[in-house]
């Protein structure tokens, strides 16, 4: 089923919290529902949309405003725009919320210690060694949201579970029509995710 009303799904969380991993799980679920989806990954945006910007607060704010501007254009045209940037400052996120309006904030929550352990890019190691300045969570603050629409606890949830949680919230908010099938409330792909999870837990 195609959707004319889009929204911006705005991930926020520390580097290594799981934003990109959940996005990889979420996008196929949205496409299966007939949604037009565009992902604005933080690294990709910095390479193309915000090339030349540094990591001072002013440059970070500019980067997030640019992402918000693009998300607003996409959302107005019925696209599900997914922003997976860290976006550490509350005020700029709220500024984008006010601009876009159809804004679903997803707090990808993981402790700094866990993110340091994951450190898939080796960035925390460099930040702790002083090789990277103004690094979020180490030498620059991260401000968690006050009232996000969704909180994904990635130390306790699998990426699939987090993605399904977001899908359910999008249904509750009216951005997605609830899955219609055999009465169990799951689409085909969601059903496979649930079955796999139950298998992993030893129930199937």
Q: How many CB atoms lie within 10 A of CB 201?
A: 8
Catalytic-labelled residue, pool 87, 158, 180, 187: 87
- Ramachandran angles phi, psi of 9, nearest 5°: -100, 110
Phi, psi of 33 (to 5 degrees): -85, 5
Residue 87 catalytic?
A: yes
The closest alpha carbon to 169, from 13, 2, 21, 22, belongs to: 22
Question: Which residues have CB under 8 Å from 118's CB, separation 6+?
Answer: 16, 110
Residue 22 near residue 162 (C-beta atoms within 8 A) = yes
Tell me which residues are annotated as active site. 87
């Amino acid at each position: 089923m195609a959707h004319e009303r889009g929204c911006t799904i705005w991930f926020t969380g520390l580097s290594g919290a799981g934003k990109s991993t959940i996005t990889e799980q979420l996008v196929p679920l949205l496409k299966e529902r007939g949604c037009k989806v565009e992902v604005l990954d933080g690294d990709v945006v910095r390479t193309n949309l915000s090339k030349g910007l540094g990591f001072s607060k002013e440059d970070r704010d500019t980067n997030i405003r640019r992402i918000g501007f693009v998300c607003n254009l996409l959302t107005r045209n019925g696209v599900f725009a997914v922003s997976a940037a860290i976006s550490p400052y509350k005020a700029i996120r709220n500024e984008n919320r006010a601009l876009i309006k159809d804004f679903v904030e997803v707090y990808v929550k993981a402790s700094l210690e866990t993110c340091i352990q994951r450190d898939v890019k080796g960035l925390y190691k460099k930040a702790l060694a002083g090789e990277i300045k103004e690094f979020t969570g180490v030498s620059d603050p991260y401000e968690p949201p006050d009232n996000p629409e969704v909180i994904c606890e990635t130390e306790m949830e699998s990426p699939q579970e987090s993605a399904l949680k977001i899908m359910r919230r999008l249904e509750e908010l009216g951005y997605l029509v609830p899955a219609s099938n055999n009465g169990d409330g799951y689409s085909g792909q969601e059903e496979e995710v649930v079955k796999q999870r139950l298998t992993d837990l030893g129930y199937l």
